């Protein structure tokens, strides 16, 4: 079943990317994803537990179940995949749906340097002005910042692992950096029926290898558009 899902992932996520980007970004790691899934399944079958790193209850959901390759090597795998952070790659391998159907997904770490630079600039500004330079209120406790005051010529963005589009960075009153996935979600919900109050983020990774890094939950507003849910402003998925 999981092999079929991985095949569907290749077809469906490929639709989001231009042909060149699809070949460079999608195809090479799907075999590695399947290999890790097989190793995780075998490990759980033999031990009754999952091969994950230790976490605490404050760990965001999508970072909570990071695969511990040390538990898989050498019996279940020879080494971590070449795309894995542990082997010099740009992806962190994690699990979702651990209670019902543990499924291997990826965190795209290529946005980390942009987020770190954004954080440094905010901290530098706050050391001189106390508060971050708020430009616009986005949701309860979430803001767009004045990027010019942070010495940017253009607003900082990261590349979506889902669509290849650029995604803006937001800031919470808890000092958290948030990637705004609204445009990606809006594209996906055109082909899905969703319920009122439903967190829309699972739609992003349902047919994609990636989980939404540095995210907060989204729900539909009265105009049937995705918006940041103010009930969850303190649950950033870093």
Domain boundaries, the chain: 2-109, 111-232
List the structure tokens of 165: 């589009």
Q: Is the pLDDT of residue 154 over 80?
A: yes
Burial category of 6 from C-beta neighbours within 10 Å (exposed 0-12, middle 13-18, buried 19 and up): middle
Which of 108, 123, 96, 105 minimizes the C-alpha distance to 177?
123
Which of the four pLDDT bands, split at 50, 70 and 90, describes residue 13? Answer: very low
Per-residue pLDDT tens over the stretch 108-145? 999 999 999 999 999 999 999 999 999 999 998 999 99
- Whole-angstrom distance, CA of residue 49 vs CA of residue 43: 8
Which of the four pLDDT bands, split at 50, 70 and 90, describes residue 160? Answer: very high
Question: pLDDT value at position 63?
Answer: 87
SS3 225: coil
- Other Cβ atoms less than 10 A from the Cβ of 131: the count is 8
142-152: b (≥16 Cβ within 10 Å) or e:
bbbbebeebee
Q: Is the pLDDT of residue 28 over 60?
A: no
List the structure tokens of 114: 């942009």
Entry pTM: 0.81
- Whole-angstrom distance, CA of residue 233 vs CA of residue 173: 9
Burial category of 48 from C-beta neighbours within 10 Å (exposed 0-12, middle 13-18, buried 19 and up): exposed
- Whole-angstrom distance, CA of residue 238 vs CA of residue 236: 6
Which of the four pLDDT bands, split at 50, 70 and 90, describes residue 163? Answer: very high
List the structure tokens of 159: 């590349």
Percent of the chain past pLDDT 70, that is, above it, reads 84
- Residues pairing with 93 in the sheet: 106
Percent of the chain past pLDDT 90, that is, above it, reads 65
Mean pLDDT of the chain: 85
Q: Is the pLDDT of residue 3 over 50?
A: no
- Other Cβ atoms less than 10 A from the Cβ of 196: the count is 6
Per-residue pLDDT tens over the stretch 198-233? 899 999 998 899 999 999 999 988 888 898 886 655
């Amino acid at each position: 079943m999981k092999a079929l899902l991985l095949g569907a992932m290749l077809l469906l996520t490929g639709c989001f990317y231009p042909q060149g980007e699809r070949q460079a970004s999608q195809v090479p790691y799907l075999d590695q994803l399947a290999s890790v899934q097989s190793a995780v399944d075998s490990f759980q079958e033999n031990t009754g537990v999952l091969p994950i790193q230790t976490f605490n209850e404050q760990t965001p959901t999508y970072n909570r179940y990071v695969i511990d390759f040390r538990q898989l090597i050498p019996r279940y795998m020879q080494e971590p995949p070449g795309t894995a952070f542990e082997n010099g790659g740009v992806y962190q391998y994690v699990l979702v749906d651990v209670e019902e159907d543990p499924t291997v997904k990826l965190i795209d770490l290529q946005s980390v340097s942009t987020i770190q630079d954004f954080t440094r600039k905010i901290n530098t500004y706050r050391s001189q002005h106390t508060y971050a330079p708020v430009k616009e209120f986005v949701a309860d406790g979430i803001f767009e910042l004045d990027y010019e005051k942070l010495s940017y010529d253009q607003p900082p963005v990261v590349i979506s692992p889902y669509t290849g589009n650029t995604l803006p960075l937001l800031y919470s009153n808890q000092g958290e950096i948030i990637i705004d996935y609204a445009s990606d979600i809006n594209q996906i919900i055109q082909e899905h029926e969703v319920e009122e109050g439903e967190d829309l983020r699972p739609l992003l990774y349902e047919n994609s290898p990636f989980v939404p890094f540095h995210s907060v939950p989204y729900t539909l507003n009265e105009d049937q558009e995705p918006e940041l849910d103010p009930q969850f402003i303190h649950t950033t998925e870093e």
